[in-house]
Chains A and B, each alone.
Chain A
């Protein structure tokens, strides 16, 4: 699986995560194209079901990029997102999947550099884990 290119979905909040991603763009800091971003108003809006759906449909890794803790524009949405991620990690563990396929990250709007670096590291991590069972199953189906 040397040329394995993982599919990664990042749910980013409008105020910080998504803005940090834009900031990486503004500064032309590159990160792997494997990462595809879905914008949400607040990471507290990301239902645990959405994380599961992304994995079900074929994502090899999913993460949530929220505001720094204490900086959520809706008080505590990002802390709820942590809880959702932890819950899904536990589910994956129970299923015998690698819980590392789901992750929580926090950025301030200015942290473009860190956003790109985290995207790179996460992609590398998922590459090392290999394709998820669901994405393997779906690619076989093609």
Chain B
């Protein structure tokens, strides 16, 4: 039976997918109370079903989990599964939410996921270990993913027999639906969407032919934990396919009855990913072909991913949406398609066909929106703010992830942080208390004492006891002279057992502890907390994994298993002798923030931090605030950008918590995360003003590109889209006089010297084309493009433009348009693939879509000043491109807006909120721990060879003025690579020192030596 706490006001996060988890973690890290609910019986969402995710082609979900101790996690975050919201009343800051929790018939607190019930009642028991297939291992977050079964009581015929099977007594046969009312400050909706079911279409054979399957199912087949253990085989004959085809936009970007008009934004990348992973794993044995309409790889560095797919992996790309798929007698599939340049249909045989299907809001989501009272857009996604996309039509209700619009994981993470940040503003952070000081007694100094070890087996409801004779293990451990106490606690790892051990530690004056229990990955922090409570340093501890790596895996050989237990315990005892008390690097953080860059992004972040009481320094290079938005008149949605920017500037300038520096740059920088000092130089030659700050936000933007292509800068009628925007805004008469306008896309982008896509240009061209037609309906607009990348709902504008007669003509790098001036006329020559010949257009205006490039000078300066990494094309590089898209690798630095990569205003604003929220997670804790496991150098032994300097994956070691290598504990990540590579053995990784590892080896073989 789940009981939801009712006594406090919280943020309610609905949806336990990756976005909801991220929003809930951000809020709890900011010391704000949050309840995460999900209608499923375990959280995890869609991401957990994917084999690997782009662009990193791995999972990495574990990197999301915060470094909160279990105690503080419990304090701020509650998770309730099988729970739905039924109504929401009241108003922002003070809602009442009514929640309905379905019966699980299992007591989560008692269930140990031992599996007995599943064995006996396989039909009735659901077990999805949190993040099937990866968790609970990957999501190191036991409370968040109830590690428990659930029962489908309707399928149980003998309830008593089921009860008898459960040794933990966790079965609750009379569990009932619970209704709870809670007080909610704000709501974050992260409910996602379903994947389109292609079986409703009659031309591709989805759901009908064995070897036609949607992308998600293909991922399950590729997955090691999937139906074929990671073997890629056809469903029909279990044979490995030789030819696999992907068909893009299945059910998307269409006009047929079962199609939706919008673009799902992720399918191009996931098809490329699936094809790449197929190639990586099966090499040349499998031919991969993708049928597509436009390749929409417009995310950060995604174009390079696309190029690798083509060039390095030899993935075949055919620009065409195939007509039909038919099944041949041997269950192979024949695709009929037409190439753009050929008039005839072609037929080709494939062994497997993957349908790239997109997102569809589910009926449940639509109903939920009704219950909450928010508007939906015409596609049944949440109607979000045009300029502020995580806001909904209802105050106090925020949205993130796919429910806002189709998007990938990195963008979902950004929106989740943004929504969490805004939702959290109505709720104060819990007062910060110095937890170690307030919760724990002072640590006993054990220096110089001979090892006095306590060995405790902490079992969980007989998990270990059933397989191993614990008494014998204790007896064996006691033969060791250093072991002063050896006891077992067979009930569970309950508080009671913990208290008893704490008592024994004190009573016997123990100075080292070895625990035999479950995996240290899950339990180490719990037992470290126990040591702290007992007044011992938490690093004087060694965990022996008697359960997961012994009791559970050697059922077939009990005698050998016991022998192994003796040896593992001996290893732990031997290792703990060498353990040293270690201090975690704790640092009080400065509560101020520095925001570099006074554009829309920087101003938005600054305002959000300042509103929550953070003194924020905003530094802008130009004499006025506003950045690139000053050059833009309106968004594609029709928002007045100038008015919006003016509003921001006024608010920022008047805010008591914001100190604005214009015509200023950062010039000096020292300090460690949480405590930086930076010098700001204003004007030409004045001295630096030194400011203290705990966090730094980089919002320095990017530069509009002006490449010398297609006559730009030479021919009068050739301009950029930004120039055209200015004409549209200021000189309508000029537009009215125009007869033909040509737009050329990818001018200076997606070329060898600037390989990435600028993301904004396709919508900019469509926007300006529509604006031209509004001013002058007779104007003929031609858009010369390579791939139209109007992702998400911008597809609607693209369609409107086509309907209004804008002509879209494709070109490729072999057939670039040519712009020339002849007899005072500007003529554009282009190749028409459909006609198969060149055409010439006389243009009154040629508008080049030139996009953004990195502001190389600014970024180079800041990167060398702050020691931050950059991407190949000069933008800042985030910590994790997928899961930490606005955090930088260096703790305390955050990244937002076009300094991250080209993006439109609403996307920059989302990142601005996200970084403000991420910055709050650091500031709310007043102190940060830098961990204890960092590498240290023995200056006497160091040979100054540079091997560590070159080997460190994070470029941390350097040779200092005292002529030896030095490793900054604040920057060290604790991998220990330098320690292993050091030829002088001068480097040790604390907590994992060589003598500790060798002592473990010694312990393991002690009976011999």
Asked whether, in the complex, the Cβ of B549 is within 8 Å of the Cβ of A44, the reply is no
Query: Do A110 and B998 have beta carbons less than 8 Å apart?
Result: no
Does A41 reach chain B (CB closer than 8 Å)? yes
Complex Cα–Cα for A141 and B1007 (A): 11
Of the candidates B136, B223, B933, B980, which one forms a contact with A80 in the assembled complex, judged by CB atoms under 8 Å apart? B980
Contact flags (1/0) for B546-571 with A, using CB distance below 8 Å?
01111111111100110110011001
Q: A-facing mask of B526-564, CB < 8 A → 1, else 0? A: 000000000000000000010111111111110011011
B994–A139 CB distance below 8 A: no
Are B953 and A116 in contact (CB-based, < 8 A)?
A: no
Question: Would B980 and A109 count as touching, CB distance under 8 A?
Answer: no
Interface residue from B136, B552, B557, B977 paired with A45 (Cβ < 8 Å): B977
CA distance A45 to B993 in the complex (A): 10
Chain A 74-96 interface residues, beta-carbon cutoff 8 Å to B? 74-77, 80, 84
Q: Is the Cβ of B1004 less than 8 Å from the Cβ of A9? A: yes
A138 touches B129 (CB 8 A): no
Chain A residues with Cβ under 8 A from B980's Cβ?
44-48, 80, 84
**Nearest chain-A residue to B1000 (Cβ)?**
A38
Contact in complex: B134, A109 (CB < 8 Å)? yes
Contact with A along B50-78 (1 / 0, CB 8 A): 00000001111011000000000000000
Least Cβ–Cβ distance between A138 and chain B, in angstroms: 4
Among A50, A68, A77, the residue within 8 A (CB) of B997 is A50
Q: Which residue of B lies closest to A113 (CB)?
A: B229
- A15: chain B residues at CB < 8 Å are 62
Contact between A26 and B552, CB atoms less than 8 A apart: yes
Question: Are A57's CB and B1008's CB within 8 A?
Answer: yes
A57 and B1009 contact, Cβ closer than 8 Å, known pairs A19-B137, A28-B115: yes
Contact at A138–B1008, with CB atoms within 8 Å? Answer: yes
Judge whether A40 is part of the interface by a CB distance below 8 angstroms.
yes
Spot the interface stretch: B290-298, B484-492, B968-976: B968-976
B1005 and A22 contacting across the interface, CB-CB below 8 Å: no
Q: Which of chain A's residues 94-117 have a Cβ closer than 8 Å to chain B?
A: 108-111, 113-114, 116
- B224 lies within 8 A of A59 (CB): no
Q: Which A residues, 117 to 142, have Cβ-Cβ distances below 8 Å to chain B?
A: 135, 138-139, 141-142
Q: Decide if A26 touches B953 in the complex (CB within 8 Å).
A: no
- State whether B58 touches A68 (Cβ < 8 A): yes
Asked if B1000 and A58 make an inter-chain contact with CB atoms under 8 angstroms apart, the answer reads no
Question: Contact residue range for chain A?
Answer: 35 or more
Partner of B977, one of A21, A30, A77: A77
Take A22-B519, A25-B552, A44-B975 as given contacts and tell me if A110 and B138 are in contact as well, using a CB distance cutoff of 8 Å.
Answer: yes
Contact with A along B120-150 (1 / 0, CB 8 A): 0000000001000110111000000000000
Q: How distant is A124 from chain B, measured CB to nearest CB, in Å?
A: 15
Q: A14-B521, A33-B557, A37-B545 are in contact. Are A59 and B1005 (CB under 8 A)?
A: yes
* Closest Cβ–Cβ distance, residue A47 to chain B (whole Å): 4
Per-position 1/0 for A31-69, Cβ under 8 A of B: 111101111111011111110011001110000000010
Inside 8 A of B549's CB, which chain A residues have their CB? 21-22, 25, 37
C-alpha spacing A88/B501, complex, angstroms? 43
Nearest Cβ on chain A to B471's Cβ, whole angstroms: 19
* Residues of B contacting A54 in the complex (Cβ-Cβ under 8 angstroms): 1001
Residues of A contacting B1009 in the complex (Cβ-Cβ under 8 angstroms): 57-58, 138
In this complex, the member of B57, B223, B552 whose beta carbon has the largest number of chain A beta carbons within 10 angstroms is B552
Q: Are B134 and A58 in contact (CB under 8 A)?
A: no
B228 at the interface (CB under 8 A from A): no
Q: Are B62 and A74 in contact, with the CB atoms below 8 A?
A: no
Shortest Cβ distance from residue A120 to the other chain B in the assembled complex, whole angstroms: 11
> Smallest CB–CB gap between B418 and chain A, Å?
27
Q: Which residues of chain B are within 8 angstroms of A41 by Cβ–Cβ distance?
A: 933, 974-976, 989, 992
A138 CA / B1001 CA spacing, docked (Å): 14
Chain A residues with CB under 8 A of B951: 80
Q: Please, how many angstroms separate the alpha-carbon atoms of A53 and B519 in the complex?
A: 25
Complex contact B521–A22 (CB within 8 A) = yes
Q: Is the CB of B992 within 8 A of A45?
A: yes
Residues of B with C-beta under 8 A to A68? 58
Q: List, in ascending order, chain B residues with CB within 8 A of A46's CB.
A: 980
Q: Quick one: which of B940-999 are within 8 Å of A by CB?
A: 951, 953, 973-977, 979-981, 989, 992, 994, 997-998
B1001 interface neighbour in A18, A26, A57, Cβ under 8 Å: A57
Q: In the assembled complex, how far is the CB of residue B545 from the closest CB belonging to chain A, in whole angstroms?
A: 7
For the complex formed, measure the closest distance between the CB of B709 and the CB atoms of chain A, giving whole angstroms.
36
A70 vs B55: C-alpha distance when bound (angstroms): 12
B981 with A22: CB separation less than 8 A: no
CB distance from A37 to the nearest CB of B (A): 6
Cβ A80 vs Cβ B977 within 8 A: yes
- Chain B residues within 8 Å of A71, by CB: 58-60
- Nearest-neighbour CB distance to chain A for B539, whole angstroms, equals 14
Contacts of A108 in B (CB 8 A): 58-59, 134, 224
Which residues of A sit under 8 angstroms from B133, Cβ to Cβ?
110
Query: Which A residue sits closest to B58, measured CB to CB?
Result: A71
Kindly state the separation between the CA atoms of A22 and B974 in the bound complex, as whole angstroms. 22
Interface presence of B1002 (CB below 8 A) = yes
B792: Cβ under 8 A from any A Cβ: no
- A58 to B567: give the CA distance in the assembly, Å: 13
Using Cβ atoms and an 8 Å threshold, which residues of chain B touch A139? Answer: 1008
Whether a CB of chain A sits under 8 angstroms from the CB of B225 is yes
- The answer to whether A45 touches B975, judged by C-beta atoms less than 8 angstroms apart, is yes
Q: Which residues of A contact B58 (CB under 8 A)?
A: 68, 70-71, 108
With A113-B229, A141-B1008 already in contact, the answer to whether A47 and B979 are too (CB < 8 A) is yes
Q: Name the A residues within 8 Å of B976 (CB-CB).
A: 40-42, 44-45
CB closest chain-B residue, reference A40: B992
Q: CB < 8 Å: which of B224, B555, B564, B989 contacts A28?
A: B555
On whether the beta carbons of A42 and B521 are closer than 8 Å, the reply is no
**Chain A: minimal CB distance from B593 (Å):** 29
Q: Nearest chain-A residue to B147 (Cβ)?
A: A26
Bound Cα distance A113, B977 (Å): 28
Q: Interface code A8-24, partner B: CB below 8 Å = 1, 0 otherwise?
A: 01000011001111111
Query: How far, in whole Å, are A21 and B519 apart by their CA atoms in the complex?
Result: 10
- The smallest C-beta distance from A89 to any residue of chain B, in angstroms, reads 17
Q: Per a CB cutoff under 8 Å, which of B229, B551, B933, B953 touches A77? A: B953
**Residues of chain A contacted by B975 (CB below 8 angstroms):** 41-42, 44-45, 73-74, 77
Cα-based distance from A84 to B976 in the complex (angstroms): 14
B520: Cβ under 8 A from any A Cβ: yes
Q: How far is the CB of B561 from chain A (nearest CB, A)?
A: 5
Residues of A within 8 A of B129 (CB): 26
5 contacts between A and B (CB under 8 A): A18-B519, A33-B561, A41-B975, A47-B994, A113-B229
* Besides the known contacts A36-B1004, A80-B951, A80-B980, 10 further A-B residue pairs in the complex with CB atoms under 8 A apart: A9-B1001, A18-B521, A33-B564, A44-B975, A45-B979, A49-B994, A50-B998, A58-B1008, A110-B59, A110-B137
